[in-house]
Chain A
Amino acid sequence: MSIINYASKEIQFKIVYYGPALCGKTTNLAYIHSRINPDNRGDLVSLATAADRTLFFDFLPLNAVVIKGFKTKFQLYTVPGQVIYNATRQLVLRSVDGLVYVADSQWDKMEENVESFKNLEENLAKQNINMDDIPYVLQYNKRDLPNIAPTNYLEFLLNNRKKRVGSYEVVSSTGQNVFAALNAVSQLLLHKFNKESEPTRAAGAPAAQAAR
């Protein structure tokens, strides 16, 4: 759930990177961290095991541009992909505003991709969130590897819901399309924020309406 603070003039949004184990969620955040000016981001916090597997989550706070005097802040989280950590995934999903689903394009990961996507739907349902209501995009990661499924097959597996979403061919290790996916989801959630503020503006802010 986004928070708008009129005192500090900030709007906060939470974006979660979700996907099966070793699909490249942490690599996405590491690339974003390495490419954003330090003035516009905080530290990348990783709670990982000695073998660099995400144990709890990774976290990266970003400051986007100032709009009408308000700082727009995005908080990026990853979840641990390993199946056993489902309770942790549910915790990280708490008050999520937008999602990037990271799929591993390798043929032998298809079952895990589908399983993890199903797990995401179930975990969102526990928070009374429907996949059709939350802004999300799909990443088909590891497009540089040799044994990968074609994108139309991945689309068939993961993007065949009534509402089709944006999907990106990504190589998170080199950064290809990492920012394209992040910007796509951030714009989707800003549009949703606008849409949700419509009824309150109509009912509670005649002056603001007249000024439009």
Chain B
Amino acid sequence: MDSIPILTIEDVANIDAVLQDYLQKSESDLAVIIDKGGNVISQFGDHEVMDVTIIAALAAGSFAATKELARRIGEVEFNALYHQGNGSHIFMNSVDDDTIMITVFGKETTVGLVRYYSTSACQNLAALLRAMRDKPQENFFHFDASDIAASAMMEGR
């Protein structure tokens, strides 16, 4: 699978710049880039009140679940999904074969505006992700044996 195992500070800054511009233009609250396995790649916006990790896992599931539905009408998959709420809504679209962008927005904007600006944001992100995948991966992080032993999760309470 073509995933992105290592994100440098520069990679994240580049992605965040695209997301910031997109959020401003579309007047949305939060944008999250995830892989189709449900892992968060980057996020930008107001995410204090939401558990982004859980939103990512559920959004990846939701995206995957509709794939079969798409196939029944002759599509490979739907490239965008919209969940409409009363005050808050979620729009998701494919960035590339492995990546999804989730947008959370409220009453300040409309789905049309979000959809319009998300297209160019996704194109810019796809180009960034392609460049990240193509460059050699340099990982300087290494666990020591003692770190690994110390990572054991404790049963409490």
A interface list, Cβ under 8 A from B: 1-8, 11-12, 14, 32, 34-37, 40, 42-43, 45, 47, 56-57, 59, 61-62, 64-65, 67-68, 70, 72-75, 77, 87-88, 91-92, 94-96, 127, 175, 179, 182-183, 186-187, 190-191, 193-194, 197, 200-201, 203-205, 208
Flag if B152 contacts A183 (CB, 8 Å): yes
Chain B CB within 10 A, most for which of A77, A94, A182: A94
Question: Which A residues are CB-close (under 8 A) to B65?
Answer: 56, 88, 91
Question: Which B residues are CB-close (under 8 A) to A57?
Answer: 57, 61
Flag if A95 contacts B57 (CB, 8 Å): no
- Tell me if B74 is interfacial: C-beta within 8 Å of chain A: no
Flag if B151 contacts A200 (CB, 8 Å): no
Question: Chain B contact residues (Cβ within 8 angstroms of A): what range?
Answer: 35 or more
**Stretch of B3-11, B22-30, B105-113, B114-122 on the interface side:** B3-11
- Tell me if B68 is interfacial: C-beta within 8 Å of chain A: yes
Question: Which B residues are CB-close (under 8 A) to A70?
Answer: 141
B interface list, Cβ under 8 A from A: 1, 3-9, 11-13, 35-42, 51, 53-54, 57-58, 60-61, 64-65, 68, 136-143, 147-157
A67-B147, A95-B35, A187-B151 are known contacts. Are A47 and B61 too (CB-CB below 8 A)? yes
